[in-house]
Chains A and B, each alone.
Chain A
Amino acid sequence: MLEIRNLNARVEGADILRNLSLSIKPGEVHAIMGPNGSGKSTLGNVLTGRPGYEVTSGEVLFNGKDLLSQEIEERAREGLFLAFQYPVEIPGVTNMEFLKASVDARRKHLGLPDLSSFDFMKLARETSKRVSLDAAFLKRGVNEGFSGGEKKRNEIMQMMLLEPSLCILDETDSGLDIDALQVVAGGVNAMRDDKRSFIIVTHYQRLLDYIVPDHVHVLAGGRIVKSGGKELALELEAKGYSWLEDEVA
């Protein structure tokens, strides 16, 4: 599914990722944890091709194809999805317009016929219900005036509509109350199957009570310093990150 080999990346002249390697197989859920500034968000940004994130060396294969040479939108159409830590507000463009344009693009890439406006609106309304977002949000500007929790649920709704093969959740749990957290986790768990993979980037162990990962990695100083099973998350919860950072140093 995803092969990251010796990835080095910099942002605004600073080296953030250093020789990062990671292999994800279909159906796996990987949690990436780590202290602030460890490069957790950078990974998602680099994989999706965010402008300003420069890959200096290394390679990434997604479904066997070179990912880093693809345009941002090509990666998305191929099935890569990033739930943003800070979803962007786009006033004047309705959520419905935005979702329809996204789904149209993905379906076209997969060789599927366009959904009619009627069918799409029906699907969008059903999906918004699944993430407990009132259908009125579909008519509002993209994320415009949404609360933090509503923005995150909107991200999960997009994920459900686009049915990506690799989903990266970038601190989707940050700032959420327990109800919203359960909605997010419920969305992920409902989508888990033996083909779809997830990278859950989180600062807190709490989310992993609801989304049980197959692998947990600790990122510090731009590289993976420790990997383990789900029990590693509990260890981190108890001991914090400093003992690992000391190991790196």
Chain B
Amino acid sequence: MTDFQTTDFQQRALTLAGQQQSPAWLAALRFEGSEQWLNADWPGRRTELWKYTPLQALQKSTSAGWSSALPQGAGSAALLTIDAIRLVFVNGVFDAKASTANHDSVVRFSNANDAQRSLIEKHLGRIVDTKRHLFASLSNAWVQDGVLVHVPRNVVLEKPVYVVHVSTPEAEPVIANQRLLIVLEDNSQAELIEHFASDARTQNSFVNALTEVSIAANSSLQHYRINLEQEAQIHIGGVHIDLQRDSRYSGFTIAEGSALKRIDYQINHRGNGAYASLNGVYLPRNNQLVDYHTNVEHWAPHCTTSEIFRGIIGDSARAVFNGRILIHPDAQKTLAELSNRNLLTSDKAEVDTKPELEIYADDVKCAHGATVSQLDQTAMYYLQSRGVSKTQARTMLSFGFINELLQDLPQPAVRDYLQHHLTVLFGMDTGTGLS
């Protein structure tokens, strides 16, 4: 059974996708995406990957429904203070004024030279598995522009790449497609910060954001993905990573909730000795939802995965965490750890957590666990016994629970920004500085 309204969304989105102008060499990918998008079964409650996350929020009731954005100026979102190669998009449209000058390693698809174009053709839409990721096919159907970060052999990118997606409210709610492709050649290194932001006004857009990462032998990527948009913002995002021999990926992600916020991570250990760490934080409040689905697949031996996700769920909010680690038969000597801890700060808050470990190799070390709890009563007593009020003690412990993952972030600009954001969010700025 398909739902008429949502099928209508598929049609509407496809029509808009068809209206996008793009270079001819992307036509094949767009066609393939369109076919898949239109033929896909719309997820319902029985669809395992979307079991706890209904897509009703995509059914806008306005007569015009969804539209696509017109070029416009930057919004007033608070950005990081950082010396970086910066690219700013507003509702999916590139904002040259807010961005730094062109850089050899960082180009938009529309400006790609022949060599870059063949890299894009080789990797774009090829790292993500569209059969498993419905909205990736919409992204393929829509792809009109995007960002390629290409780090050649033996190159260490001298500055972080900072890609900002700002949402601002439009007269008609828009769909913004964001596309990012990272290609690290052998022995290279880069740092990438993706920042999804909005101004404080009530948002009405839907961002479909897809990032594909190819990390070649002995290369490393430090990656941050920050999702701190206003709560009416709809966001469906995916990060898909292929790791070759001895390569390293260190990811950190944080999301506040919204009417619908779903982020998927797919990490593939394809070469021996690869390393991946992924830490994440989710903080839904009010009636918000955050859904993280992570899937790490070990295809090769001697690879390591370390994954820690923590969430604080307040009010009537809901969080979904599904963390799967799959060890294929050839992936002997795998080390994998997954931990998910949740704090519920209200009786109506809800979390659906499901860590999954599937092991088909016999010589591996794996651990996984999930907890849902209230604040530590002994720590509460300790703080109160020093004169700290119950309310402030709760705030401090909640902050500490999240700050444990923030305090060790290697990029100080991101760390400071997020720590400050959290002190404001938790209302606990005591002015002693946290770092």
- Interface residues in chain A, defined as those with a beta carbon under 8 Å from any beta carbon in chain B: 48-51, 71-73, 75-77, 81-82, 84, 87-88, 90-94, 96-98, 100-102, 104-106, 109, 117, 120-121, 141, 158, 162
Contacts and interface: CB of A to CB of B under 8 A. Distances in A.
B382 A91 contact: no
A109 B387 contact: yes
A76 B392 CA distance: 15
Given A97-B434, A104-B430, A73 B396 contact: no
Nearest to B400: A92
Interface stretch (B225-233, B317-325, B373-381): B373-381
A120 B432 contact: yes
Contact of B430 (A48, A51, A101): A101
Contacts, number: 96
Interface stretch (B88-96, B301-309, B402-410): B402-410
Given A97-B396, A162-B387, 20 more contacts: A48-B385, A50-B385, A51-B377, A71-B390, A72-B384, A76-B386, A81-B385, A88-B379, A90-B379, A90-B383, A92-B402, A100-B430, A100-B432, A101-B386, A101-B392, A105-B389, A109-B387, A117-B430, A117-B433, A141-B404
18 contacts: A49-B385, A71-B390, A73-B385, A73-B387, A73-B390, A82-B385, A87-B382, A90-B396, A90-B400, A92-B399, A92-B403, A93-B399, A94-B432, A98-B386, A98-B388, A105-B388, A117-B431, A141-B400
A106 B379 CA distance: 19
The 5 closest A-B pairs by CB, nearest first: A92-B400, A105-B387, A102-B386, A93-B400, A92-B403
A134 to B, nearest CB: 18
A158 B382 CA distance: 12
Contacts of A120: 432
Contact of B387 (A51, A76, A87, A97): A76
Interface residues of B, number: 28
Contacts of B383: 90, 98, 101-102
B375 to A, nearest CB: 11
A76 B384 CA distance: 8
B387 A77 contact: yes
Interface in B387-435: 387-390, 392, 396-397, 399-404, 407, 430-434
A101 B400 CA distance: 14
Given A117-B431, A121-B432, A101 B384 contact: no
A76 B432 CA distance: 22
A109 B379 CA distance: 22
A91 B392 CA distance: 16
A90 B382 contact: yes
Nearest to B382: A88
A72 B381 contact: yes
Most B C-beta atoms less than 10 A away, residue of A72, A84, A87, A100: A72
B433 to A, nearest CB: 8
Contacts of B431: 100, 117
Contact of B397 (A93, A121, A162): A93
A91 B400 contact: yes
Contacts of B379: 88, 90
Contacts of B385: 48-50, 72-73, 75-76, 81-82, 84
A104 B401 CA distance: 22
A73 B407 CA distance: 28
A96 to B, nearest CB: 5
Nearest to A101: B388
Most B C-beta atoms less than 10 A away, residue of A50, A73, A91, A120: A73
Most B C-beta atoms less than 10 A away, residue of A50, A92, A98, A105: A92
B377 A92 contact: no
A87 B383 CA distance: 11
Nearest to B434: A94
Contacts of B382: 84, 87-88, 90
A120 B431 CA distance: 10
Contacts of B403: 92-93
Nearest to A116: B431
A73 B432 contact: no
A116 B64 CA distance: 56
Nearest to A79: B387
Most A C-beta atoms less than 10 A away, residue of B378, B384, B397, B404: B384
Interface string B215-238: 000000000000000000000000
Nearest to A139: B435
A90 B402 CA distance: 12
A117 B432 contact: yes
A49 B251 CA distance: 43
B386 A90 contact: no
Given A51-B377, A91-B400, A92-B402, A97 B432 contact: yes
B432 A91 contact: no
A169 to B, nearest CB: 14
A90 B397 contact: yes
Contacts of B404: 91-92, 141
Given A73-B389, A92-B403, A50 B430 contact: no
Contacts of A101: 383, 386, 388, 392, 396, 430
A98 B396 contact: yes
Most A C-beta atoms less than 10 A away, residue of B381, B399, B404: B381
Contacts of A117: 430-433
B166 to A, nearest CB: 30
A121 B432 CA distance: 8
Contacts of B402: 92
Nearest to B380: A51
A39 to B, nearest CB: 19
Contacts of A109: 387
